[in-house]
Structures are given as structure tokens and as C-alpha cells.
């Protein structure tokens, strides 16, 4: 067998069974070998940013990595933004980047570029496979790196001749590095810190699922510490029956208000809270002056840590959970608030909500807090264009669950090609585009950064009018059913029909910009 | 004034008057300052790959750079592929990448990434501005680097606080490094090489415009050397009245046939010819064994070199030029060949043709060779997704000329957001999408790379069906008039109407894949 087949068999044996790809000539042996390895599924994306974001969404839901297959440096560049988001989400991704044959690189052919440098900027593990003898082991090591502690984006650079030459065959999976043990001294330190008056527990990452949230709720019940979560969790299990946690606000001023009075903050599986951006005369660090901050090494299992702390505190097992609550269907004007209400009124059980609604999504978390149990996936790294890819990957991972893909119009224009992949793969994704015809967050930020004069040229860089985007036409152009809602009643009805449908549907919700 | 204004005034004084952008929060002071500097024009792109490709197209036609304005590492990542193409085209681009405030970087906020490494992979000059005192000089130096010898993509990394702090004001332009003098010894070496029996002159880059082509034609007339051009020139002036030059074929086997018998090849403003990709058991180097190759330092003015060689050879001033010739309008079946014929039949005078038609474009150069004088812009770096951005930028640079944007359907799906920018800016771009519903080049390459078994999973990664893409709907969704042609008669009529229109129009030409 050739290197490509040995590689793909090794991936499949290690549990990697989906490859999101937009291949090129240097990847043709990999593509040809797909048919030789039954468990490996190839899913075509029409742009590499779709492939990398889909791999992120898949792994957030499947708890095992998908592979990507990208075409040399430019393909990696196209996938970079969503690999950046996956890196920030600590998602395991096996990021495979094809390259010229080893002996061809020195000729500096037109597609030659420094793949290694780009990979190192979005990926904490980078392996370049140099001979067919090693390619299977390189693949196994890349999967292990992705599934290590913490999980990560792991890149394998794959020269064409390493794929096409004869290989000895696949290898057994490399065991990933397990999480570090929870040291008694760490448990004691966290217990002590959280027992301080004014203490705050900040949770994120892997603690945002049921076991972590229950442990966190027990810990704060026992200590009296206040509980917050990071602003943009990768995957948050929520809804009626689960402990609630208030997210730190995106706006630094609001986050500072939330953290007002904090004396000691313990951050578990999330960094110490800092402002998303710097602003003139505003603080970068969000904790109050004098507040001590304890962060936990990301190699430690954060859920095990919280459970050990709860045990050490002898915390009661029962915790307060969100009560079931659903708003009524809204009537009248369609706004970001009534869309949120309408979504909450019909949220399906076990829905996967992908949230790239940005400013238009302000009311969504509140409206859905008491809904049926669901997963909420956020834009983790601030690079817009993640939503449609993430929804596509989540829908591939969970074919029996409804995916709600909530999109701001500005962000929707980034990686919209994924709608076609949703149609081709017949995935159950309902996309709602919040069409306010504006980069609303930037209009808000333009005021916040202290820019004094705001003229028409500047405003024109932040609005999406002239011409208006027609998302119904765009979706239909990629084979996705679509409709436009102008009132709350329209939206209720279209959402009900969309949720009853098998396969992707898009609703353009025409709303006014928030007066931010 | 603040740093942003000092920077933009400096750019405008140095002749940079257009900025293609998709900004974010860290760029808001730059955006706010646009209104304060009258000559600077901001053009919004809905995706950064559009901005970088448009800057390339603008500069290829304007002979001076546009600026980009990108949002941190992910924005640069999104723009990477077209910066790669611009680098390969030796296009001057002033690539501005916003960054976090200098003091904010150490907090590793969600959008933090290693911008410098990514920039160095697509840009030969990278400057990080570190204080407002220097930002204007940094900008002037970046423009000078872009306009140096050779021209290049020059990146300026611009922290937010460097923009918002008080600046001393703009500075005078930095003089770019002029081209190196043409040494007599080099002229003598080239004369001698080209006088060898079996000599070949290979031209590219800046020699592909009238002066260079005339000089090259004189040289080969005097020496008997054969003349070819690089495969994918950045800007080729052609049509009736100009010397013709045969391009080296993309397929290595064909290029080797063209170069068969070559004893000494002189490459002027282009590298020695190598295969685009490596293939099992095929050569990387395209010149025959034993053929000597002379390349010329890119700091030398290549047109001056060819003119000096012509003078030294005492070459006659008259050269053979292409005679006027237009095919008739085709009838019957619509194919890549009849589309080429139809375009040639109606090619407007001084048209700018952007060619990303890939395999479907095979017949275009032949059909248009005797057409009215025009410019032909190619995909220089092999990273698809350049066509619509390039067309947008060229149309901004040359508002009085028609742009014909010829797109393969697979490539069209990469950076289609540019259609919206064409509509907003009311640019005269006629886009033709060659809709063969296939990555036809990859179906061909899959056979060429020697992959033995080609199964249905592999084939599915290379075809664009299920669902079919509807480019008429996609264009209308972005405010661009569009129609679909199923026959040659349809296409003739729709093209005539499109060329008579002001503003962008798209024609989807439904054609069968080439039997390659």
C-alpha cells in the first residue's frame, strides 16, 4: 500500500473517521485512497475555512477529532481563522496540510510557501512527515497530540511523495498524554482561595458541561464564592435541570461591574479575565486592583479538580438548577429580542445552538436559560466566519439532533459556502440570519474607542447596505431552502416549518440594528 | 493629530489613495481618520481575501499600490492566499494589519496570534510599528518597500494605540530603491547565450507589456532564439498590433515538448521553468537535460536589459505583430470553446481580462490573440479565489475600461463576496462563470498523478453537483444582475447586453466538462 492509505488506515484506527476537505493536486493520492479505507468519510467543503471550522464543530460535539485536508500554504491560510478559533477552544483537530513532494520544494514552484510558519501560528503541534516509512507513525502521533492534555490543534504537513510512495502499513494508535493528577496541594489552595470573603470562581473550557457545572455549583454553595463563566465557552451544556452560570460580559466595563468587589479569583480551565480589546484609558485586566488571581495548569483535568475541591469541602450533592421556562411566541415587530423569544419558544430538545449572532444575540442566552437541555457553541477566538462551518461539523457529528445556526449578517458573509455542504450532506441545520444590514458591533466599538469625528466615509465601512444582501437568494443559490421573515408572526411560522423539515433551511430575519 | 491620521496622510502623499478593507475594533481609529484625509478612499470588502486580491488587481493596473486594512492575525489569514498570489506576481501592495495595543498583547486576549510569522510567509518586507512617533515614517518606508526593485508585498503591522495616540504629523515619501543598472557584462552574457544555436528566451513579469515584448521580439529576430513567456503572467498586454508570445504550457509534459531541443535558456524577470507540481516519475525541471539556464537578478530593470541587448545586437526596430482577427459569433452548443469564441467576437477595446477560468479557459488565449488591444491578468500563485477580487481592484483602478472576469465555478465559490463590492462601487465588471459543475483540473490531475484506483468517494470530492450551484441566484443575492446561458446564441446575446450595461453583470455559462 502507499503512504496515503497507511495514513488513512492509521487515522481510522485511532478514531478519526471524518475528513473535511478542499483538496488540490498535491493531495490527490490521499483523495484516491479514501475509497480503500471504508470507515473514513470525506466531506467536501468549497472553501478551506469551512473545512477547518467544521472540524472544530465536529470535535466539540463528538469528543474526538476530525481531520482536515488542505492544499499547501494558501489552503492553510484560508483555513487559518477557524483554526485560530479552534485553538482558542482547545478543540482537538487533526489538521493535515498537503505539500509539494520533498524533492520538488527546492524549485520554489508557484504554490511554494512557508507552511511551517503559518502552521505554528495556529497550531501548538506541528509535524512534517518526511518519509513514507514514518507517515503512519506521524499520523498516530498527530492524533495523540490533538487528544492530549490539553487538547489542541495538531498539524501534519504531508508532502505528496510521502503519500504516493510504498509504505510498510498502518500503525497502532499512539496513546495520548493523560491529564495530570490533581495534587492535594492544589485542592487545598483552591479551597482556601475560594473560602476568602469576596472570592470568585471563574469556570470555562471542559467544566462547562454537566459534571463540571454541578461540581462548580457545589463548590460555590459550600464556600459562598460567586460563580461566573468565561465569556465565550466552546461548548456549554445548559437548560432546565442544569446549574446556571452567569457569563462574564463581552464589554469590559460590564465585566468589571460583575467582578466588582472580587478579592481572589480562581480561574479553572480558562485564563484570567482580560478585555477582548484595548481601549484608550480603559483597563486591560478585568479583575479589580488588588484582587489575587489563581489560574490552573491546563494539563490538569479541571472537572476532577472541581470534584476534588467539592469533596474536600464536604459540599452537599444537591445544587440549584434552572427551572423549566419557555417564553410565549412573540407577536408584532421583529427585533433581535423577539427573534430570541421566538427561538426560545420553539427550542427543540437536545438542540445544538451555534451562536455567531454577535450583537443581535444579546437576548438569546436569557431567553433560552430554562429551555429544554441543549448545547451552546460560541465563537471562541473572535475570528468571525465560524458559525456556518461549526454548525456543519456539529450536524455531521450528531445526525440525530437539530442544529440551530444563529448568524449575524456580517459574519454570515465569511464562510457561507458551508450551506452547500449542509445541503449535499443533508444535515439538519436551521440557520437564522439576523439581518440588520450593519457591522453593528463595529458601530458600537467606533464610539467606544473614543474616535472623535465619525464621518460618512467611516460609517460606510461599517454598514452592509447599498446593495442589501438577499440571504434567501444566496441560500437558494447553494441548494438550501430559504424564506424571509419581516414580522414575529412570520418568523414563528417559518421556524416551526424549518424545524419540521429534514435537511438544511435558512430564515432571513429582517431586524433593525440595536441602538447600542 | 493622531497616529492614524498621520499614517493615512503619509500614504496619500506617497500616492496610495485606495484602501481595500474589512476592519475590526482594533482598526477603528484608522477607519475614523478616513474622513480626515480627503484623497484616501475606503472600499469595503466582505471578506479579507477580497481586500487583498483587490489590492493586487488595483496595483497591476494602476502601477502604484493600494493599501489593505486587515483585522489582526485571522484577518491576515483570510487574506493570505491572495497575498501569496500578489507575492508571486511581484505586485506592490501596502498590506496593513491591525493589532492589539502594544501593552495589551501580553494578556493573550482571544484574538492574539503570531501575526509576524504569518506575514513573513506572504510578504518579503514586514515592519511592526511600535510608537506613534515613528508610524508615519514606517508607513512611508512600507510604501517604498512595495515600490522597490523588485516590487513586493510589504506588510505594516499597526497596533491600535499607535493609531490613537498623538503623532507629530505626516512625513515625506521615502524614495524607493531604484532598479540596478544594466551591466555591460550582463548584456554581453545574454547576447552570447541567445546567439547559441537552440537558444530560448523566456520572458515574464514586467517584460510582458508593450516595451518589453517589442524588445524581446527584436532580440529573437536578431539571434534566431525561440521566444516563450512564463505560464501565468501577472499582466500581459496583447492583441492586434503587439508582438505575440507563446506561453509555456501548464502541463509539464507539454512544456517539455515546447522546450525540446533547447540548449541555453535565458529567463528574464521570471524564474527558470519548473513543473507546477511534482508527479511520480515525471521531471520537476522543464528544460532538457544539459540545457544551460541563465536567470537575471530581479533587482535589474528587465525591460532596460532587453532593450540594451537589442541595441547591442543591432536588432532592427520593426517586429512582427499580431494581425487583427476576430472570430464570428458561435452558434449551437455552449462549450468552453464556443464561450471563448463568443468572448473573442465581442471583446471590447482596451478590455481588462481577468483569467481564472482554469481548464475551461484553454481556448481563450488563442481566440483573443488578434482581438483589440487588451490586458490579460492571470492567477500567478496557484491559489484559487483570486479572480473576482482581482477584477474588482482592476475596475477601481481603471473606471473607464471594461473588465471581463472569467471564472471557473470551483474558483468562483472562494471569494464571491467581491460581487457585492462590485455592485456597491458600481464597477463595470462582466463576470462569466464557466459552470461545468466540477473541479475539472483535479479530475485531470487525479489521473495524471498515477492514482490507480479511483472510486466514488474520491470522485465525489472533485465534483460540484448534488446540489448544483445556481450562480444567477448567488449574484442576485449580492445585488448583481445575472442571467444563465445554455446555448451559444443565449451567451452571445447576454454578453452583448452585459457589455452595454454600466455596473456589474454576471453570466452563468452552463458547459460540459472538457474531456481531459
Average pLDDT per block of 10 residues along chain A, 516 residues long: 97 98 95 95 98 98 98 98 98 98 97 98 97 98 97 98 97 96 97 98 98 98 98 98 96 95 98 95 95 96 98 96 97 97 98 94 95 98 98 98 97 98 98 92 78 82 94 98 98 98 97 73
**A chain contacts of residue B273, beta-carbon cutoff 8 Å:** none
- What is the model's pLDDT at position B516? 47
Q: Does B281 contact chain A (CB < 8 Å)?
A: no
With contact defined as beta carbons under 8 Å apart, do A376 and A233 qualify? yes
* Distance, CA of B36 to chain centre: 32
Give bridge partners of residue B349 from the DSSP assignment.
Answer: none
Q: Give the residue from B1, B25, B163 with the most A CB atoms within 10 Å of its CB, the best one to mutate.
A: B25
Query: Among all residues of chain A, which has the CA nearest to that of B29?
Result: A451
Q: Hey, of B80, B359, B462, which one would you mutate to test binding to chain A, going by the most A CBs within 10 A of its CB?
A: B80
Q: From the CA of A374, how many Å to the nearest CA of chain B? A: 25
A132 and A166 Cβ atoms separated by less than 8 Å:
yes
Q: Where are the alpha helices (DSSP H) in A90-159?
A: 115-120, 135-146
List the single best residue of A23, A31, A158 to mutate versus B (max B Cβ within 10 A).
A31
Report the alpha-carbon distance of residue A208 to residue A215 in Å, rounded: 10
For A183, the grid coordinates are 495534587
Residue B306 has, within 13 A of its CA and on its CB side, a CA count of: 29
The count of residues in chain A is 516
Let me know: does A144 contact A83? Beta carbons within 8 Å. Answer: no
Q: Do A34 and B111 touch (CB under 8 A)?
A: no
Task: List the single residue in A121, A276, A285 with the smallest CB-CB distance to B110.
Answer: A276
CB contact under 8 A, A26 and B277: yes
pTM of the entire predicted model: 0.98
Q: Name residues whose C-beta falls within 8 Å of residue A396's C-beta, 6 or more positions apart in sequence.
A: A18, A43, A54, A57, A58, A66, A425, A427
In chain B, which residue's Cα lies nearest the Cα of A478?
B469
Residues 90-119 of B with CB under 8 A from A: 100-101, 103-104, 107-111, 113-115, 117-118
Report the gap between the CA of A221 and the closest CA in chain B (Å): 30
Cα B184 to Cα B304: distance, rounded to the nearest angstrom: 12
Does A109 contact B274 at a Cβ distance shorter than 8 Å?
yes
B403-408 and B429-435 strand pairing: parallel
For B:323-362, CB contacts with A below 8 A are: none
- Contact B474/A at CB under 8 A: yes
Residue A35 is nearest to which of B41, B75, B456, comparing CB atoms? B456
Q: Residue A170 half-sphere exposure, CB side, CA atoms within 13 Å? A: 17
Q: Quick check: bond before A150 cis, omega within 30?
A: yes
pLDDT computed for residue B357 by the predictor: 95
Asked if A44 has any chain B CB less than 8 Å from its own CB, the reply is yes
Q: Is the Cβ pair A111, B442 closer than 8 Å? A: no
pLDDT of A62-78, one tens digit each? 999 999 999 999 999 99
Give the chain A residue nearest B479 (alpha carbons): A467
pLDDT (tens digit per residue) in B281-339: 889 999 999 999 999 999 999 999 999 999 999 999 999 999 999 999 999 999 999 99
Task: Decide if A77 and B81 are in contact by the 8 Å CB cutoff.
Answer: yes
- Kind plus residue range of the DSSP H or E element containing B132: none
Q: Following DSSP, what letter does each residue of B161-203 receive, concatenated?
A: HHHHSB-----PPPPPPPPBP--HHHHHHHHHHHHSTTEEEEE
A74 → closest Cβ in B25, B42, B81: B81
Q: Which of B35, B117, B470 sits opposite A457 (nearest CB)?
A: B35
Question: How many angstroms separate the CA atoms of A78 and B383, rounded?
Answer: 10
Q: Verify whether the Cβ–Cβ distance A382 to B74 is below 8 Å.
A: yes
How far apart (Å, rounded) are the C-alpha atoms in residues A413 and A456? 23
In this prediction, residue A453 carries a pLDDT of 66
Shortest CA distance to B86 belongs to which of B64, B124, B53? B53
pLDDT of residue A446: 80
Task: Classify the C-alpha dihedral A464-A468-A469-A472 as positive or negative.
Answer: positive
Burial grade of A432 (CB within 10 A; 0-12, 13-18, 19 or more): buried
**Which among B430, B420, B388 has a CA at the least distance from the CA of A467?**
B420
Q: Name which of A420, A442, A453 is nearest B467 (Cβ-Cβ).
A: A420
pLDDT, position A516: 47
State the pLDDT at residue B312: 98
Q: Do A103 and B35 touch (CB under 8 A)?
A: no
Nearest to A11 by CA among A54, A46, A41: A41
Q: Which residue of A has its CA nearest to B78?
A: A78
Interface of A with B in 403-462 (CB under 8 A): 410, 413-414, 417, 420, 423-424, 441-442, 445-446, 449-458, 460-462
Q: Rounded CA gap, B292 and B225, in Å?
A: 14
Task: Give the closest residue to A300 by CA, choosing from A212, A234, A229.
Answer: A212
B228 touches chain A (CB under 8 A): no
Give pLDDT < 70 ranges for chain B.
450-453, 514-516
Residues in chain B: 516
Residue entry with cell 489563581? A294
What sign does the dihedral B240-B245-B250-B251 (CA atoms) show? Answer: positive
Element (H, E) at A95: strand A93-99
Amino acid at each position: 500500500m502507499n503512504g496515503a492509505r497507511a495514513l488513512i488506515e492509521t487515522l481510522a484506527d485511532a478514531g478519526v473517521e471524518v475528513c473535511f476537505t478542499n483538496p488540490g493536486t498535491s493531495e490527490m493520492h490521499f483523495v484516491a485512497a479514501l475509497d480503500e479505507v471504508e470507515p473514513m468519510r470525506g466531506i467536501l467543503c468549497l472553501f478551506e475555512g469551512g473545512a477547518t471550522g467544521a472540524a472544530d464543530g465536529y470535535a466539540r460535539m463528538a469528543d474526538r477529532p476530525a481531520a482536515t485536508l488542505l492544499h499547501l500554504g494558501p489552503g492553510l491560510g484560508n483555513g487559518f481563522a477557524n483554526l485560530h478559533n479552534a485553538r482558542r477552544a482547545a478543540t482537538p483537530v487533526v489538521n493535515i496540510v498537503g505539500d509539494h513532494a520533498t524533492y520538488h520544494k527546492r524549485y520554489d514552484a508557484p504554490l511554494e510557501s512557508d507552511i511551517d510558519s503559518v502552521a505554528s501560528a495556529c497550531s501548538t503541534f506541528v509535524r512534517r512527515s518526511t518519509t513514507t516509512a514514518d507517515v503512519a507513525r506521524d499520523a498516530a502521533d498527530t492524533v495523540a497530540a490533538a487528544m492530549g492534555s490539553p487538547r489542541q490543534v495538531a498539524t501534519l504537513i504531508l508532502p505528496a511523495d510521502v503519500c504516493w510512495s510504498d509504505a510498510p502499513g498502518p500503525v497502532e494508535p499512539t496513546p495520548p498524554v493523560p491529564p495530570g493528577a490533581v495534587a492535594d496541594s492544589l485542592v487545598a489552595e483552591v479551597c482556601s482561595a475560594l473560602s476568602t470573603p469576596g472570592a470568585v470562581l471563574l469556570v470555562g473550557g471542559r467544566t462547562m458541561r454537566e459534571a463540571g457545572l454541578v461540581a462548580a455549583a457545589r463548590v460555590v454553595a459550600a464556600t459562598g464564592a460567586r460563580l461566573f463563566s468565561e465569556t465565550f465557552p466552546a461548548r456549554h451544556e445548559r437548560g432546565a435541570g442544569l446549574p446556571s452560570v452567569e457569563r462574564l460580559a463581552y464589554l469590559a466595563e460590564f465585566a468589571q461591574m460583575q467582578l466588582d468587589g472580587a478579592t481572589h479569583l480562581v480561574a479553572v480551565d480558562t485564563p484570567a479575565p482580560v478585555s477582548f480589546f484595548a481601549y484608550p484609558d480603559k483597563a486591560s485586566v478585568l479583575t479589580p486592583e488588588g484582587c489575587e488571581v489563581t489560574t490552573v495548569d491546563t494539563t490538569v483535568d479541571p472537572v476532577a479538580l472541581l470534584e476534588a475541591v467539592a469533596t474536600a469541602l464536604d459540599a452537599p450533592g444537591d445544587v440549584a438548577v434552572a427551572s423549566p421556562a419557555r417564553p410565549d411566541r412573540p407577536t408584532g415587530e421583529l427585533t433581535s429580542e423577539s427573534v430570541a423569544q421566538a427561538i426560545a419558544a420553539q427550542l427543540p430538545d437536545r438542540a445544538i445552538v451555534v451562536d455567531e449572532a454577535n450583537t443581535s444575540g444579546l437576548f438569546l442566552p436569557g431567553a433560552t436559560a430554562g429551555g429544554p437541555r441543549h448545547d451552546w457553541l460560541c465563537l471562541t477566538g473572535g475570528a468571525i466566519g465560524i458559525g456556518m462551518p461549526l454548525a456543519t461539523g456539529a450536524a455531521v457529528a450528531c445526525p440525530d439532533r437539530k442544529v440551530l445556526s444563529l448568524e449575524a449578517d456580517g459574519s454570515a458573509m465569511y464562510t457561507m459556502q458551508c450551506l452547500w455542504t449542509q445541503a449535499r450532506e443533508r444535515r439538519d441545520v436551521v440557520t437564522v440570519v439576523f439581518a440588520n444590514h450593519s457591522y453593528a458591533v463595529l458601530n458600537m466599538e467606533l464610539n467606544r474607542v473614543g474616535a472623535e469625528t465619525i464621518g460618512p466615509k467611516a460609517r460606510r465601512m461599517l454598514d452592509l447596505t447599498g446593495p442589501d444582501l438577499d440571504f434567501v437568494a444566496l441560500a437558494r443559490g447553494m441548494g438550501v431552502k430559504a424564506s424571509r421573515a419581516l414580522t414575529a408572526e412570520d418568523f414563528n411560522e417559518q421556524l416551526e416549518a424549518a424545524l419540521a423539515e429534514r435537511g438544511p433551511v435558512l430564515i432571513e430575519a429582517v431586524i433593525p440594528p440595536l441602538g447600542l
